[in-house]
Amino acid sequence: MPIVTGTDTAKTRRTLEAAGQSVDYYSIPAATEAGLGDFSRLPAALKVVLENMLRFEDDGRTVSVDDIKAFAEWAEKGGKNPREIAYRPARVLMQDFTGVPAVVDLAAMRDGITALGGDAQKINPLNPVDLVIDHSVMVDEFGTPRAFAYNVEREYERNIERYTFLKWGQSAFNNFRVVPPGTGICHQVNLEYLAQTVWTDKDQNGREVAYPDTLVGTDSHTTMVNGLAVLGWGVGGIEAEAAMLGQPISMLIPEVVGFKITGALTEGVTATDLVLKVVQMLREHGVVNKFVEFYGDGLDHMPLADRATIANMAPEYGATCGFFPVDAETLRYLRQTGRDEDRIALVEAYAKENGFWRDADYAPIYTSTLELDQSTVVPAISGPSRPQDHVALTDAAYEFGKYVSGNRKLKEPTRREEKTWNADGGAPEPDHLPGHLDGFHEASVEGEDYKLHDGSVVIAAITSCTNTSNPYVLMAAGLVARKARALGLNRKPWVKTSLAPGSQVVEAYLKAAGLQEDLDALGFDLVGFGCTTCIGNSGPLDAPISKAINDNDLIATAVLSGNRNFEGRISPDVRANYLASPPLVVAYAIAGDMNIDLSSEPLAYDKDGKPVFLKDIWPSSKEVAEMVDKVVTREMFQEKYADVFKGDERWQAVETTDNEVYDWPPTSTYIQNPPYFQGMSQQPGEIADIKGARVLAMLGDMITTDHISPAGSFKPSTPAGKYLTERQVPPKDFNSYGSRRGNHEIMMRGTFANIRIKNEMLDGVEGGYTKGPKGDQEAIYDAAMEYEAQGTPLVIIGGEQYGAGSSRDWAAKGTNLLGVKAVIAESFERIHRSNLVGMGVIPFEFTDGQTRKSLNLKGDEEITIEGLGDVKPLQIVDAKIKRADGTEETIKLKARIDTEVEIDYLKNGGVLHYVLRNLAAA
């Protein structure tokens, strides 16, 4: 990464001595001395961005002295000064689901620049890029010692075309590394190995310069590394590609919400319980497009693993990031995870010299604040379909009963004063239902001696980077399994159990503690190192269980230690999904039923028929801490990450070419050359007016990128399934949408095709359907293609928080390829709004309190928006609505084109077109 020195900020460059090494850095105190403003009380998170301005104030083209002074004005104005700035992260992190289409785009850009008369070698990452293959492994096999080997074998069988392509990219592109399959989850690998907290590089004169480690990632949970004081957040693959090609990220100086942590967690409460409470509080506070910074003396009692858990779930509370400043715990973690001692010394010296260090006197200015005493946090879960739906464990069974009663239109249950589950103290009959389940659905399972009912837990998964990066909750899960095993308990036979850690270090310390054997005994055998169930790669349920659920319309449940539980995400057979700590996941696997009140009712019975309560198998905080201190060592991290890019024999055997342009295999159903850059002109155009557009879908509130972007499995009857069937691909080899993100033909057919999405143009219909040009119900893809053949532009209508959730670039790419020119919603989530602009789709917001409902929109209207050729950022524009009866109404919309550079992106047709034209011209 080039380190540049500007005329005015050269005076802010200083030299630092640490561990016998001398490095230069850009000093924030020196900027104050130079008269650029008082920055002393800026939050550390914002100082990271300020340092970026000091370092890149080079030619006045992207960063000016006024940009730097704006940070002092931010403090003077009480934490607000939304000035547009150009920010350059140090590096980019990817995973394979989002990384494959990004590399596909880079390969296509090499074709595109060649067609424009440019040099293919100009398409290379200028900043370091790491891609970790973690999203492809599925839980096909579980509960057996061979599960890991079998799942990895199936992973390679399904994905060899993608892996061949990624291995080609590793050799074809500079500054691009791939962490092979079976290594870990990208965010955990980043936290435990890649991140340095303070980065170093040489400038044009060969002088070593230190600066904050920063990044953007093509996964929304890139925010996890903020727990290590590394500023990072998720962006779409489109933005990430632009960043790696040298384009600054255009952003507004953010507001920073201060979240004060006091006290300490009480006995029996986990970091998961804490983060679920934090998610609830911050969602209520409102932090979309804002930084959150955590401070307060409660951090003195918070291990870095717990901080990373909180930082990981920033997308769930809606913030750009959740940042923790550097302190003694940061240094302890760097040392424990095997970082170089010289680097640790540099981190401490740099943080203290440049104002990034948190001590007892740390008291910055924040835009707003809120506070949480950790001692008030109670055990909890979140669900059944949103991470912010916090439910205390004491209320979990009752709230689930309310959820089912609402879906079944039954009388709402009352809280049980007398416990109806096995009230006589004897072992329950297999088909015995608690009394409060009257009216709930029940079903026999073919070939089994048990029945399922609404609330049966059919998936219990210890999964995701959120919790498997935390040895405290992993050890707790193992200890729960050990105590349960000693009492003769086991998982219920209908529960699909799995353990998918985020790094190989977890396997090492669970084995060293002897706890893996106990987890295996309860069915939590290792199934792979990857995201698995958290991203919908839960694999199929046993056929009789799936049939019982679907034939009887059961509301089956999943409990997972993940970060996302949106509708339709975890499994097509499961309607209610709950986030929980790893030890609670084990407990729910034993109970097998969401209707059991784990806080007071027995979750099972021992071999003598005596009731066993959660408290009987729950480890103390002291037990957990002692186990972590005893078992988790620095040497484990050093050993497991020694050859992190080497991979196993399967990866080493993958063959590829050394061509600088990719030889697109014409018959591949995984990798195809996308149409974005084909037939591009040398010059950009103007932003086109939208005339006579029809509504493709009208959607409600909190439509997530999981609803929009293709995700999970799909059936032969879907447009994507038909496409593969026509190419002789059998359903058993369909794999998932995510694995086929390198094929735009599959992905555009799966856009808006989520099984739980509800298009309000249709009455009570779930799934990816709409009304076509003739008014008939049909698949959204089919209708979009019919409109395209007629030359009719399309719009999407939405509600609040449109595009919440993961940073799925295909949510924007698919929208574009379906012919959608604009999305009109009440509000947008940050990443998806940016991605829409990056793909040439204009986001608009309703104004004056108007909504699709207040306007009585039906979806059969024609919409015209003119005057876009000279539109300005955040401009209010007129939209003409022509109804089916011929009446017309003009309303005001806000163009959510937030910055001037986004105007340029839209004129070019998207951010990558903008970059490609500039590189070709240069």
What average pLDDT is seen over the chain? 92
Q: What is the mean pLDDT of residues 404-430?
A: 62
CB-CB contact of 31 with 47 (8 Å): no
Query: What pLDDT is attached to residue 530?
Result: 85
The domain of 243 spans: 91-376
pLDDT of residue 214 exceeding 50, the answer is yes
Report percent pLDDT > 70 for the chain. Answer: 96
Which residues of 638-724 form beta strands (DSSP E)?
690-698
Of 190-194, 426-430, 733-737, the poorest mean pLDDT is in 426-430
pLDDT of residue 378 exceeding 90, the answer is yes
Q: 3-state DSSP call for residue 795?
A: strand
pLDDT of residue 819 exceeding 60, the answer is yes
Report percent pLDDT > 90 for the chain. Answer: 78
CB-CB contact of 54 with 12 (8 Å): yes
Query: What pLDDT is attached to residue 807?
Result: 64
Query: What pLDDT is attached to residue 421?
Result: 39
Whether 227 is in a domain gets the answer yes
Give yes or no: residues 607 and 480 share one domain. yes
Single residue among 376, 394, 412 that ends a domain in this structure? 376
Query: What pLDDT is attached to residue 425?
Result: 43
pLDDT of residue 434 exceeding 80, the answer is no
> For residue 141, which of 538, 481, 492, 445 has the smallest C-alpha distance?
538
Q: Using one digit for the tens of pLDDT, what is the confidence trace for 685-698?
A: 999 999 999 999 99
Whether 648 is in a domain gets the answer no
Whether 86 is in a domain gets the answer no
Locate 722 and state its tokens. 């038909």
Output the furthest CA–CA distance in the chain (Å, rounded): 83
Give yes or no: residues 33 and 126 share one domain. no
Query: What pLDDT is attached to residue 803?
Result: 93
Locate 24 and state its tokens. 């230069």
CB-CB contact of 298 with 594 (8 Å): no
pLDDT of residue 3 exceeding 70, the answer is no
Categorize the per-residue pLDDT at 87 as very low, low, confident or very high, splitting at 50, 70 and 90: very high
> For residue 812, which of 791, 844, 837 has the smallest C-alpha distance?
837
Give yes or no: residues 284 and 328 share one domain. yes
* CATH number, domain with residue 129: 3.30.499.10
pLDDT of residue 120 exceeding 60, the answer is yes
3-state helix/strand/coil string of 135-182: CCCCCCCCCCCCHHHHHHHHHHHHHHHHHHHHHHHHHHCCCEEEECCC
Give yes or no: residues 712 and 857 share one domain. yes
Backbone angles phi, psi at 392, to 5 degrees: -60, 145
Query: What pLDDT is attached to residue 241?
Result: 85
Single residue among 376, 398, 429 that ends a domain in this structure? 376
Whether 212 is in a domain gets the answer yes
pLDDT of residue 220 exceeding 90, the answer is no
Whether 499 is in a domain gets the answer yes
Sheet containing strand 21-26, strands side by side? 13-18, 21-26, 208-212, 198-202
Query: What pLDDT is attached to residue 564?
Result: 80
Backbone angles phi, psi at 243, to 5 degrees: -65, -45
Q: 3-state DSSP call for residue 865?
A: strand
Categorize the per-residue pLDDT at 278 as very low, low, confident or very high, splitting at 50, 70 and 90: very high
Locate 99 and state its tokens. 């990384």
Amino acid, res. 886:
G
- How far apart (Å, rounded) are the C-alpha atoms in residues 460 and 590? 9
Residue 764 exposed, middle or buried by CB count within 10 Å (0-12, 13-18, 19+): exposed
Q: 3-state DSSP call for residue 521?
A: helix
Q: How far is CA 762 from the centre of its chain?
A: 30
Tell me the whole-structure pTM to 2 decimals: 0.84
- How far apart (Å, rounded) are the C-alpha atoms in residues 628 and 355? 32
Q: 3-state DSSP call for residue 321?
A: strand
Give yes or no: residues 816 and 909 share one domain. yes
> For residue 846, which of 855, 859, 836 has the smallest C-alpha distance?
855
Give yes or no: residues 252 and 327 share one domain. yes
Single residue among 73, 102, 124 that ends a domain in this structure? 73
pLDDT of residue 436 exceeding 60, the answer is no
Whether 80 is in a domain gets the answer no
Query: What pLDDT is attached to residue 808?
Result: 79
Whether 612 is in a domain gets the answer yes
Give yes or no: residues 500 and 625 share one domain. yes
Give yes or no: residues 61 and 116 share one domain. no
Give yes or no: residues 604 and 491 share one domain. yes
Q: What is the mean pLDDT of residues 763-769?
A: 93
pLDDT of residue 432 exceeding 60, the answer is no
CB-CB contact of 368 with 34 (8 Å): no
Helices first, then strands: H and E counts in the chain: 31, 34
**DSSP code of 297?**
G
What contacts 24+ positions apart, CB below 8 Å, involve 245-248? 245/123, 245/124, 245/125, 245/126, 245/915, 245/919, 246/126, 246/127, 247/911, 247/914, 247/915, 248/56, 248/62, 248/86, 248/87, 248/88
Give yes or no: residues 226 and 185 share one domain. yes
Give yes or no: residues 600 and 572 share one domain. yes
- The CA angle 487-490-494, to the nearest 5 degrees, is 160
Give yes or no: residues 455 and 499 share one domain. yes
Whether 676 is in a domain gets the answer no
Q: 3-state DSSP call for residue 655?
A: coil
Query: What pLDDT is attached to residue 462?
Result: 95
pLDDT of residue 431 exceeding 50, the answer is no
Q: CA end-to-end span of the chain, whole Å?
A: 19
pLDDT of residue 163 exceeding 90, the answer is yes
Q: For the chain, what is the domain count?
A: 4
CB-CB contact of 216 with 233 (8 Å): yes
